Structure 1
């Protein structure tokens, strides 16, 4: 199949949809633009399917390019048959293609090549085809100046056959998939590393089917190996039977080359050749491949988790554009304070000290009264609970101010503070105070502030430093782009980093927009954007629908209606004899409009329906309603917790194995996937997402290891071994793989995570 047919089959789409989407991408259109404003062309492909299409399109085009390179190389060698050409052209993945190319791929001289140069290919072919020959006798005919005796001749013939076995594409494909289905990964602690590697204790003697190994455990084992704590290898004999017997893999090789034990003189020599080829050559290569495949799968899982958490965090509901006091807690260096106005502009700063409580209260009260502060944002780092206590006193002492205090994640604030961007934004402000500004702004609008920080520094990833960094960056950039464009931005207030994420724009154009705005004042209309240097018609087409202008000359500029569709709205206004201002938000009038009456060749029914929805709620924000957790008073440290306590917390992170919950102490607790609900849960995100406020019960506390086990099933009893009413047995993972003759052991909850210091050790 060609690329279009392949993509259509994979995405359950028509060839016409794929062709249109590919054409738009090739023209430079972005995924958000295509998904939002080209629904007619693509048949309504959403951003998720378009991202998949974009990724697969790149892969398949690279595959086609590689095929041409391979065909050319083999043809230049004079070895390209019609059958081989057909196989290469039919290869649907890079692994299969490289298997076919392997026998013809230029490589350094091997023992097999040297043996061929010494004329031993006919001996290898003869023994394989006619095992009724005696190997020693047959080898006598191939002695020469380079081959001094029959032993050397047979070693050369064996090297040729071993290479031939290892380069048979069909055979290797069969063995690869069998190994992937059946093999176990075996992790063991390196002798003498037991104390140093305690965080990998769960993997000191761990066996698990490689095919079904969850990504977080795979990355933990691979990290342990990289740090020299663990040894990790593949076992293709899970039942530990004697290695003197031929394995199923050796039998497959024998069958493939018609090698049998028929009491012929060469049978044993051939079987020994197969055994050596499998154990010394093929298995070693396939083991490396399998571990690489395990790593790739784990990377994909981890990156998916990171991307989903990042999306939830970026789309968290904003508290609103209200004057906000940001507090960056600290003991020795004090609590850094910054007041930002309703537009995010820095108004005032101060540094106060927890040990000078009266002075601190007076200074904060002054800032609140002077600037009309309505929100207090408290970073959740060191001394956050002590700072929160002071903020609570302020709320009680100043009831007329209508204050609300909220603890917010300060992940990445220090990265922003020391960044070049922060230095340009606040050149005269101390680095420590920039963090307080970021904390205040991320409460007002998380998306607008977090786009200034490298997504990898926001702290919602799983083993983020272990995964493919290029793949991670690409995935996270796509998430940020989708989130920013889903919400849209006010072009007259947005920062350059936020504008740079808009469809069609880049850092240079974003800086140009800000510079033009600073020099000429606020944009009065979307059309005025065309006056910005280097912002042409094509860029305007991509970006305009995602840029908002509130209070401008054109009422539609505050909506997501694209300027190209303004004539459609003008026709609606004329038919209803009403102004744009009179129609926008007027549900009764909008209900009178028949969408089908306004469809054209350019604008189909999906676009008209989108226009009407936007007219009804112009510039609607897809983010939810702001909410915050009420942390329990007096619960400041892990030592304050007691099993059985029911607390309110905020979901800080979601992994494949459960959810981390901030309950107001310095360590997040973990709700294992089996304790999220009274039903089987396949994916934790079915139940919770980052930013959700939830009620949890404390099951177990390990103060020494700083780990807290929580449950969202409030009828679970602490210390009961198995949680009460545990639900379907599928929620209790079992050891996978061959357990013949061995007692089964339950899978332990993972204990090594790059996401948080806190990790629960649940009792089964």
Structure 2
């Protein structure tokens, strides 16, 4: 059995000692950017891309090995672990293969097959499978046992059939072949659940749709799974060559012309194996789509964090609102808060001109150069207000920009914001964030949990742990690619620098 470091070394095509050195550093808490920059001599020059891949594979393979150990211990406890089975389990390179091998030994509830075995019908089932010359009704006669509620040959055969169906459905190699063929040839279909047409109107494109399982784009797959999750859509796999699977199962057990066994194969496929494989493949597609979506979210976040900064210019931040007013915050060129206000240009107060006058007064007082407008509710009205201000007061030399305010409200109510602005009302903190993220997007956005920044359409549908881990890695890479200004950087930003921890960042 190969070690984790051997497997990763083969996948990355690098010497194993480099992988071992990198794993040791990761175990000690070192970040990928830190290792890539400051420990090149230890890892033999592994770059950040190789290290990110190594980190991801290390996490997966450790989970795989933990599950492998649990499975081996469970089978060992049952006293059914043979050298051959142990070797197969140790050689399993995916979680799917591991679970396939474990199926026959997985503790089961009181299934019909389990009850049939307890009634002593397993020898009958195995005999019928091995000797095709047996007449099922005649072979079953000797297994009639009134004490076990097996009072007819038909009941004995029914129990034997349940045992064989379970056996057919627990062959790892067979399942692997059937799964691969089903994945390559099946179509993913969706149907609207009766009576949900009106409630699920936004899923209308998927009320009766069909697409190749193998090639469906991740965004459409995630839309289908969202529809299923909220009970609007029913998903299933459709495959035309249904007989192929039955023939494959029959051939695996050398069944040719024995009608009773062929009927058992048919039932095993339709009611056991197909259901099992369909559930597995749908899970596989969902996980694959989530992984692709997370990559897109990471790319979007990367672009957002590395948006060109406006630089050190005094800025007014406007957090738009209608009834509750537009929150105003003025920060100087270093990002320090110097003034706040609330204006009410919209109904019900309609203080349009008074709002413009307030902004002009703040701009003159603090020598403001930029106006940053959040793109939330009331953004158009606020943009119109500022446009009118710029025309009427061209002498101020102001420039405006509408920016994403995603995550500003999350930051406003955070402990970090409370510590940074203890005496500022929570409703005004969002305007401060909006002003600062125009000056330096990276420095401000690192204060917000990455998943709250709004970097993808289905980010709330994907695995939260994997998303958080991926987005944190993007933030880490961006900060260390750009660097920070030590004179103005917050503790949040400094804490992302390679080699600095949160405590040291706060002290600086």
SS at match of 1:307: helix
**Structure-2 separation of matches of 1:285 and 1:92:** 21
Alignment of 1:355-504 (within 5 A): 355-504=350-499
Residue 284 in 1 paired to residue 275 in 2?
yes
**Structure-2 separation of matches of 1:116 and 1:335:** 73
**Structure-2 separation of matches of 1:417 and 1:65:** 41
Aligned to 2:235: 232
Residue 170 in 1 paired to residue 173 in 2?
yes
Aligned to 2:254: 258
The total of aligned residue pairs comes to: 501
**Residues 393, 118 of structure 1: alpha-carbon distance in 2 compared, 3 angstrom cutoff:** closer
Q: Offset at 1:168?
A: 1.1
Aligned to 1:106: 107
**Structure-2 separation of matches of 1:444 and 1:491:** 16
**Residues 387, 462 of structure 1: alpha-carbon distance in 2 compared, 3 angstrom cutoff:** closer
Q: Offset at 1:389?
A: 3.4
**Residues 123, 342 of structure 1: alpha-carbon distance in 2 compared, 3 angstrom cutoff:** same
Q: Offset at 1:506?
A: 4.5
**Residues 410, 158 of structure 1: alpha-carbon distance in 2 compared, 3 angstrom cutoff:** same
Q: Please, which moves more after superposition, 13-22 or 447-456?
A: 13-22
Alignment of 1:178-257 (within 5 A): 178-237=181-240, 247-257=243-253
**Residues 314, 74 of structure 1: alpha-carbon distance in 2 compared, 3 angstrom cutoff:** same
**Residues 67, 357 of structure 1: alpha-carbon distance in 2 compared, 3 angstrom cutoff:** closer
**Residues 17, 421 of structure 1: alpha-carbon distance in 2 compared, 3 angstrom cutoff:** same
**Structure-2 separation of matches of 1:335 and 1:86:** 67
Q: Please, which moves more after superposition, 86-95 or 396-405?
A: 396-405
SS at match of 1:489: coil
SS at match of 1:108: coil
**Structure-2 separation of matches of 1:90 and 1:507:** 42
Alignment of 1:102-181 (within 5 A): 102-144=103-145, 145-146=147-148, 147-181=150-184
TM-score, normalised relative to structure 1: 0.63
2:326 to 335, 345, 354: 335
**Structure-1 separation of matches of 2:24 and 2:388:** 61
Q: Offset at 1:396?
A: 4.3
Q: Offset at 1:397?
A: 4.5
Aligned to 1:15: 16
Alignment of 1:491-640 (within 5 A): 491-511=486-506, 513=507
Aligned to 2:292: 301
**Structure-2 separation of matches of 1:72 and 1:330:** 60
Aligned to 1:87: 88
SS at match of 1:142: coil
CA RMSD of aligned residues (A): 1.9
**Residues 65, 361 of structure 1: alpha-carbon distance in 2 compared, 3 angstrom cutoff:** closer
Contact 1:190 1:230 in 2 (8 A): yes
Q: Offset at 1:236?
A: 2.7
Residue 310 in 1 paired to residue 310 in 2?
no
Q: Spell out, residue by residue over 1:149-205, the C-alpha distance to the aligned partner (whole angstroms, 9 max, x if none).
A: 111111111111111111111111111111111111110112222222111011011
Contact 1:305 1:462 in 2 (8 A): no
Q: Offset at 1:400?
A: 4.7
Query: Is there any run of 5+ residues in structure 2 with no aligned partner, and where?
Result: none
Contact 1:378 1:439 in 2 (8 A): yes
**Structure-2 separation of matches of 1:507 and 1:198:** 48
Contact 1:166 1:281 in 2 (8 A): yes
**Structure-1 separation of matches of 2:375 and 2:458:** 22
**Residues 415, 135 of structure 1: alpha-carbon distance in 2 compared, 3 angstrom cutoff:** same
Contact 1:185 1:234 in 2 (8 A): yes
Aligned to 1:26: 27
Aligned to 2:6: 5
Q: Offset at 1:287?
A: 1.1
**Structure-2 separation of matches of 1:383 and 1:86:** 65
SS at match of 1:470: helix
Q: Please, which moves more after superposition, 14-23 or 433-442?
A: 14-23
Q: Offset at 1:504?
A: 4.5
Aligned to 2:344: 353
Contact 1:327 1:335 in 2 (8 A): yes
Contact 1:303 1:462 in 2 (8 A): no
**Residues 117, 383 of structure 1: alpha-carbon distance in 2 compared, 3 angstrom cutoff:** closer
Q: Spell out, residue by residue over 1:34-74, the C-alpha distance to the aligned partner (whole angstroms, 9 max, x if none).
A: 11222333343332321221121122123223333333332
SS at match of 1:36: helix
Contact 1:123 1:139 in 2 (8 A): yes
Q: Offset at 1:364?
A: 1.5
**Residues 336, 164 of structure 1: alpha-carbon distance in 2 compared, 3 angstrom cutoff:** same
Q: Please, which moves more after superposition, 283-292 or 494-503?
A: 494-503
Q: Offset at 1:270?
A: 0.1
Query: Is there any run of 5+ residues in structure 1 with no aligned partner, and where?
Result: 240-245, 262-266, 518-764
